[in-house]
Chains A and B, each alone.
Chain A
Amino acid sequence: MLHALVSPGRGWDGRTAANSLSRHEGVGGAGSVAAELCVRRAAYAWGRGSCLCRRCAAPLFLHSPAPHPASALALVDVLLKAVGDTPIMKTKKWSVERTRTIQGLVDFIKKFLKLVASEQLFIYVNQSFAPSPDQEVGTLYECFGSDGKLVLHYCKSQAWG
Chain B
Amino acid sequence: MTDDKDVLRDVWFGRIPTCFTLYQDEITEREAEPYYLLLPRISYLTLVTDKVKKHFQKVMRQEDVTEIWFEYEGTPLKWHFPIGLLFDLHASNTALPWNITVHFKNFPEKDLLHCTSKDVIEAHFMACVKEADALKHKSQVINEMQKKDHKQLWMGLQNDKFDQFWAINRKLMEYPPEDSGFRYIPFRIYQVTTERPFIQKLFRPVATNGQLNTLGDLLKEVYPAAITPEDGEKKNQVMVHGIEPMLETPVQWLSEHMSYPDNFLHISIIPQPTD
Find chain A residues with CB under 8 A from B113 CB: 132-134
Whether B201 pairs with A130 at a CB distance below 8 angstroms is no
> Which residues in window 83-108 of B have CB below 8 A to A?
none
User: For this complex, into which size category does the number of interface residues on chain A fall?
Assistant: 10 to 19
Whether A129 pairs with B134 at a CB distance below 8 angstroms is yes
Distance A129 CA – B200 CA, assembled complex (angstroms):
16
B131 within 8 A of partner (CB):
yes
Find chain A residues with CB under 8 A from B134 CB: 125-126, 128-129, 144
Distance A156 CA – B196 CA, assembled complex (angstroms):
29
Distance A67 CA – B142 CA, assembled complex (angstroms):
42
Which of B34-42, B66-74, B122-130, B234-242 participates in binding chain A? B122-130
Please report B residues at the A interface, Cβ cutoff 8 Å: 80, 113, 123-124, 126-128, 130-131, 134-135, 139, 142-143, 147, 150, 184, 195-198, 200-202
Please report A residues at the B interface, Cβ cutoff 8 Å: 69, 99, 125-126, 128-136, 139, 142-144, 161
Find chain B residues with CB under 8 A from A99 CB: 196
Find chain A residues with CB under 8 A from B128 CB: 132
CB distance from B100 to the nearest CB of A (A): 21
The chain B residue with its CB closest to the CB of A145 is: B202
Whether B197 pairs with A131 at a CB distance below 8 angstroms is no
Given A126-B134, A143-B135: A132 and B200 interface contact (C-beta under 8 Å): no
Distance A4 CA – B197 CA, assembled complex (angstroms):
29
